[in-house]
Chains A and B, each alone.
Chain A
Amino acid sequence: MQKYSIFNLVKNAFSNHENWDLAWKDPTPKEEYDVVIIGGGGHGLATAYYLAKEHNITKVAIIEKGWIGGGNVGRNTTIIRSNYMHDENALFSEFGMDLWRKMSQDLNYNVMFSPRGIINLAHSDAQMNAYARRGNSMRLNGIDAVLLNREQVKEIIPMADFSEDVRFPIFGGLMQPSAGTARHDAVAWGYARQADSMGVDIIQNCEVTGFDVTAGKINGIRTSRGNIKTKKVGLCVAGSTNILAEKLNMTLPIETHLLQACVSEPVKPILDRVVTFGAGHFYISQSDKGEMVMGGDLDGYNSYAQRGNLPTLQHVLTEGIAMMPFLSKLKMLRTWGGIMDMSMDGSPIIDKTHIDGLYLNCGWCYGGFKATPASGWTFAHTIAQDRVHELNAGFSLNRFSTGHLIDEKGLGTKTWIS
């Protein structure tokens, strides 16, 4: 594989950049693989990469219905953080933060990781107390957390509304300085390029139509481009999880919902952090191009539509304008919607299933993008070793029947609870 470097950049400039290698091949499916990953999104590509890199399993195929990186890894607000209170989420995400920091070097691909910090705003004394508790829990788990008072917040984001007479005055906030953003497409492409170079087959435009399961064991999959034999299948299909689960006669604690995001027209640099509104569900950052990147709540009903509805967008942006009134002057450039695999407790599932050789990775709710490296790493471990790693042991499928829910914020499918 051609290394991306300043020297190669200069060298290729002399030939008008016409002689670069393809970043990944377009192979036809082989008859058999050791592992088949369904879903060529961030998580699927990362899983294949870590299977090859950490476990030396390279006879791997990624089966993607459309094109790689065309789902939620290409439709998000690129926020990366580990500001969780519960141990399961905190340790998992902090492990991921470490992978994020090394990712550009590791993948030889600039993912533009920008650890600019995230601030969760607080709008009452009670919320300040809750954030103090969460911050302390984070620090106990080795995650950086700083509780900011009103004046400190004002110094960092003076453009927010600090007037006294607003409905939700800013009391302070909880900051995780090491959180940030990254270039989402680059994450998918970087993992794809490295996985491909280690022998993984990336098979696009190939839809999975069924599974061969005999005596409780997986033997292969059926696809629109023929049957593929394999003993191990990993599902990384986010919002399409329930569609494939139905083909396996499984009913999961997952509902597919629609989540929207939007960007404004590009403006000069004004916001150098990620900020979330504490009295509702709204998050904002500014991209390198200058667009304000914003998102919020689910549309609130089951949907596979991949396109949003205006009432939710209006609701979310109302919160944004309450927090940062200057936003009302901006024009909307683009909105988009993705379909989320919403788990019932708001936390993910990375686990084995009752079918031997079938592994499940789903339930990412609002936080799939930032989990990409840790999810791929732990899922690869689970598939390769046929047992869960301690980092994803809590993300079990049976926690709903045993009562070991991880109710971080109670943000599952039922948006009205929050």
Chain B
Amino acid sequence: MLHIKCPYCGMRSQNEFSYGGDASVKRPELNKEISDEEWDNFVYRRKSLRGKHLELWQHLSGCRQWIKVERDTATHEIFNTYKADEEIS
């Protein structure tokens, strides 16, 4: 069982969260010509890193906020959690 520290509610069990995928993916900019390749990269292509992975989770059965979680995909260790709009250095 994963335990995820929601930045709003504190430490909660994995059961309260749902997964939202890779958080490093950026939507193509609005109001500009976007190629098929750019859409393909945004919608489908993923690095799926082994090791440290920054990802989105939603605290669905809690505060319902989206958050970012830095987690190791090989060991499942969670290093840090952030608010969704928090800049990460």
Q: Give me the interface of A with B, judged by CB distance under 8 Å.
A: 242-243, 246, 251-256, 300-305, 309-311, 344, 400-402, 413-414, 416
Contact of B46 among A251, A304, A401 (CB under 8 A): A251
- With A309-B1, A311-B1, A311-B15 already in contact, the answer to whether A302 and B48 are too (CB < 8 A) is yes
Do the beta carbons of A255 and B48 come within 8 Å of each other? yes
Complex Cα distance, B19 from A303, in Å, reads 12
Do the beta carbons of B73 and A305 come within 8 Å of each other? yes
Do the beta carbons of A300 and B19 come within 8 Å of each other? yes
Q: Is B86 an interface position by the 8 A CB rule? A: no
Complex Cα distance, B76 from A303, in Å, reads 8
Contact of A401 among B18, B37, B48, B50 (CB under 8 A): B37
Do the beta carbons of B14 and A309 come within 8 Å of each other? yes
- Flag B1-28 by CB within 8 Å of A: 1 or 0 each: 1100000000000110011011000000
| Candidate in B47, B48, B49 with the most chain A CB atoms within 10 angstroms | B48
Do the beta carbons of A253 and B44 come within 8 Å of each other? yes
Min CB–CB distance A93 → chain B (angstroms): 23
Q: What are 8 of the A-B contact pairs (CB < 8 Å)?
A: A242-B46, A253-B44, A253-B46, A254-B48, A255-B22, A300-B18, A401-B36, A416-B18
The prevalent SS among residues of B at the interface is mixed
The prevalent SS among residues of A at the interface is mixed
Do the beta carbons of B47 and A251 come within 8 Å of each other? yes
Complex Cα distance, B77 from A303, in Å, reads 11
- With A400-B44, A401-B39, A401-B40 already in contact, the answer to whether A304 and B55 are too (CB < 8 A) is no
- With A311-B15, A400-B40, A401-B39 already in contact, the answer to whether A301 and B55 are too (CB < 8 A) is yes
